[in-house]
């Protein structure tokens, strides 16, 4: 058998022997993430129309200062309400969680930085620096954002519970009910849970440090559950991204009177 040296040839930017439409997926990712970033930035700076009845937009929860019906610390000083949107205190945490997510990193490196544009497609750089030097080494804080995300899941679940208690205008009493908005917020929490609980760091958290997991049944069970979710992490990531945006749209349109909430029960 004869050994032959075949020199590796560096591909030019965009050069590939692939014949499939490899550019479609990065393009869709670029469009999807751009829509979300533009909308969420706009919504975060509005500072109003983020509640309706018992509903609160997930972009504004937990609400520290603001709408007295929903805020934890009351309306806050007047200057704060005029100059500051409460969403700005909150959104850095879920944004950091998504920005450092293993799936999104792979997706936006390709679609925004063309690094590389897709597998086996030539990239514009000649040096590979990876994630072991600044600034990308900071992506390793992902596990800490996971802890915050788990806290947010608890808070958003409590918002769903509160979204079941409506103030009746005729009697002035609060009664149990379910509106279309309750379902929108509940589905949002379900999808966010599927995303966060299937996180790679979650797998490590529930069992990654145990050598023989089968000897710790509770960890083994949790590890198998999170691995199941992890297998579809990309799907959960996109569904939850759009559900959180739609939840804000729903509450905002109810608040501005463009949509009427449908009271199911």
In the complex, which residues of this chain contact ligand FES (CB under 6 A)?
101-103, 142, 146, 199-201, 233
In the complex, what is the shortest distance from the CB of residue 140 to ligand FES, in angstroms, rounded to a whole number?
A: 12
Q: How many helices (H) and strands (E) does the chain have?
A: 9, 4
In the complex, what is the shortest distance from the CB of residue 208 to ligand FES, in angstroms, rounded to a whole number?
A: 13
**If we measure between CA atoms, which residue out of 91, 95, 102, 97 comes closest to residue 44?**
91
Nearer to ligand FES, 50 or 104 (CB): 104
Q: State how far the Cα of 253 lies from the Cα of 186, in Å rounded to an integer.
A: 18
Nearer to ligand FES, 71 or 201 (CB): 201
Q: What would the two tokens of residue 105 be?
A: 């990193």
Nearer to ligand FES, 65 or 242 (CB): 242
In the complex, what is the shortest distance from the CB of residue 96 to ligand FES, in angstroms, rounded to a whole number?
A: 11
**141, 99 contact by CB (below 8 A):** no
Q: State how far the Cα of 244 lies from the Cα of 184, in Å rounded to an integer.
A: 9
Nearer to ligand FES, 191 or 199 (CB): 199
Q: State how far the Cα of 21 lies from the Cα of 40, in Å rounded to an integer.
A: 30
In the complex, what is the shortest distance from the CB of residue 259 to ligand FES, in angstroms, rounded to a whole number?
A: 31
**39, containing H or E segment:** helix 24-46
Nearer to ligand FES, 241 or 251 (CB): 241
In the complex, what is the shortest distance from the CB of residue 90 to ligand FES, in angstroms, rounded to a whole number?
A: 18
């Amino acid at each position: 058998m004869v050994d032959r040296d075949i020199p590796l040839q560096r591909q030019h930017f965009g050069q590939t022997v692939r014949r499939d439409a490899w550019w479609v997926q990065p393009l869709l990712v670029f469009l999807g993430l751009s829509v979300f970033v533009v909308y969420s930035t706009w919504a975060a700076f509005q500072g109003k129309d983020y509640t309706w009845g018992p509903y609160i937009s997930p972009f504004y929860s937990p609400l520290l200062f603001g709408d007295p019906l929903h805020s934890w610390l009351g309306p806050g000083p007047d200057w704060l309400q005029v100059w500051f949107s409460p969403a700005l205190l909150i959104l850095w945490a879920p944004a950091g969680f998504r920005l450092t997510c293993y799936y999104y990193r792979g997706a936006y490196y390709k679609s925004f930085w063309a690094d590389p544009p897709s597998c086996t497609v030539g990239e514009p750089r000649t040096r590979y620096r990876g994630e072991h030097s600044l600034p990308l080494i900071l992506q390793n804080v992902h596990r800490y954002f996971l802890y915050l995300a788990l806290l947010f899941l608890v808070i958003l679940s409590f918002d769903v519970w509160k979204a079941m208690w409506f103030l009746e205008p005729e009697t002035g009493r609060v009664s149990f009910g379910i509106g279309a908005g309750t379902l929108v917020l509940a589905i949002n929490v379900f999808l966010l849970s599927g995303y966060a609980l299937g996180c790679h760091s979650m797998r490590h958290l529930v069992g990654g440090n145990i050598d023989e997991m089968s000897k710790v049944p509770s960890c083994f069970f949790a590890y198998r559950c999170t691995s199941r979710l992890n297998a579809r992490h990309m799907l959960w990531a996109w569904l939850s991204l759009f559900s959180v945006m739609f939840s804000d749209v729903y509450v905002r349109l109810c608040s501005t009177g463009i949509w009427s909430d449908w009271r199911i029960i």
